[in-house]
Amino acid sequence: MQVLAEAGEVVVSTEDRPLTPDELHDLIRGASAVVSMAFDRIDPAKIGPELRVVSNVAVGYDNLDVPGFAERGVVVTNTPGVLTDATADLAFGLLLAVTRRLGEGERLLRAKQPWSFHLGFMLGAGLQGKTLGIVGLGQIGQAFAKRALAFGLRIVYSGRSRVAPEIEEALGAKYLPFDELIATSDFVSLHCPLTPATRHLINADVLRAMKPSAYLVNTTRGPVVDEPALADALLAGEIAGAALDVFEKEPEVEPRLLELDNVVVMPHLGSATVETRTEMALLAARNVVSVLAGTGPITEVRP
């Protein structure tokens, strides 16, 4: 807030919830800058001529019509880089939680259910020597891969294009076409942006093509996964489990997923550390100050 105050008067929503589109557009009427969250949807057709910058506190910007803002001369910025490690940590935590049945075990104890140790008790899936398929080997995908190497996983990846050879070499990562990655990976982790091409990238057909012993992890955007299809696949035993930090219709979750012990769910906590959220907020504020001062954006999103 102190950084934003350098640019002028700051108006903050008094609601502890996402604003409706009408409420949001009423609040920002006449503003020179808007600091938006990933769930805020701003219509470029409804903005005033004073607006110069929309600073999104997220890496993803699928909530914003970037070309539409560009046509009106409005700069859009995001917060890349500062949340890479926190999100990769959470993604790997989810992988461990679902494969080692951590949530299931904790629920058993909290429910005070009887239990005793034996060799077949609550067996999970080990990671060492198995294949991890990463969909989208960008900054977060690469950070996730580095963590996976320490656990003895083989790395394969797919995406819109291959990464630089030196990155492949450092990670021991092999590029595969998406269909081959899906069919051969023991664990699939999603790190691709939400675009028209990736909406429901993980659908019923893709889930059927995965190994019955495979696990799915999603920490990118909820609509990359068709949630009802995922529930169907889990109930049918087409895959072994799933761990999700994001959902199609947040904060709603496909009800059947909440009933399954082989599903781990988190309320969009990928970047939720004090350090990371502070850096995200500061970068968003500095983008606003920089644009309004005429020195240009720090991390611009280009159409």
Pairing of strands 300-301, 75-77: antiparallel
Q: Which of 249, 246, 204 is nearest to 229 (CA)?
A: 204
**C-alpha triplet 238, 241, 243: angle, nearest 5°:** 135
pLDDT mean by block of 10 residues, the chain; 303 residues:
94 93 95 95 94 97 96 97 97 98 97 96 98 98 98 97 97 98 98 96 98 98 98 98 97 97 97 98 98 97 94
Using CA atoms, how far apart are residues 105 and 12, in angstroms rounded to an integer?
A: 42
- Edge-to-edge strands, sheet with 131-135: 173-175, 154-158, 131-135, 187-190, 215-218, 241-244, 263-265
Query: Which of the residues 250, 256, 277, 279 is marked catalytic?
Result: 250
The helix or strand, by DSSP H or E, that contains position 241, with its residue range, turns out to be strand 241-244
Other Cβ atoms closer than 10 A to 252: 10
Given a contact cutoff of 8 angstroms between Cβ atoms, the answer to whether 241 and 157 are in contact is no
Using CA atoms, how far apart are residues 129 and 184, in angstroms rounded to an integer?
A: 13
For the chain, domains (ranges, CATH) are 2-82+272-301 (3.40.50.720), 84-265 (3.40.50.720)
- Report pLDDT for 33: 97
Given a contact cutoff of 8 angstroms between Cβ atoms, the answer to whether 138 and 164 are in contact is no
118 included as an active-site residue? no
Using CA atoms, how far apart are residues 22 and 142, in angstroms rounded to an integer?
A: 39
Using CA atoms, how far apart are residues 220 and 245, in angstroms rounded to an integer?
A: 8
- Report pLDDT for 134: 98
Query: Which of the residues 101, 104, 191, 221 is marked catalytic?
Result: 221
Amino acid occupying residue 216: L
For 1, the token pair is 């807030």
250 included as an active-site residue? yes
- pLDDT tens digits, one per residue of 32-59: 999 999 999 999 999 999 999 999 999 9
268 included as an active-site residue? yes
Query: Which of the residues 101, 104, 238, 268 is marked catalytic?
Result: 268
State the chain's mean pLDDT as an integer. Answer: 97
Using CA atoms, how far apart are residues 155 and 139, in angstroms rounded to an integer?
A: 15
Given a contact cutoff of 8 angstroms between Cβ atoms, the answer to whether 213 and 240 are in contact is yes
- Report pLDDT for 57: 97
- Report pLDDT for 265: 98
- Report pLDDT for 94: 98
- Report pLDDT for 245: 98
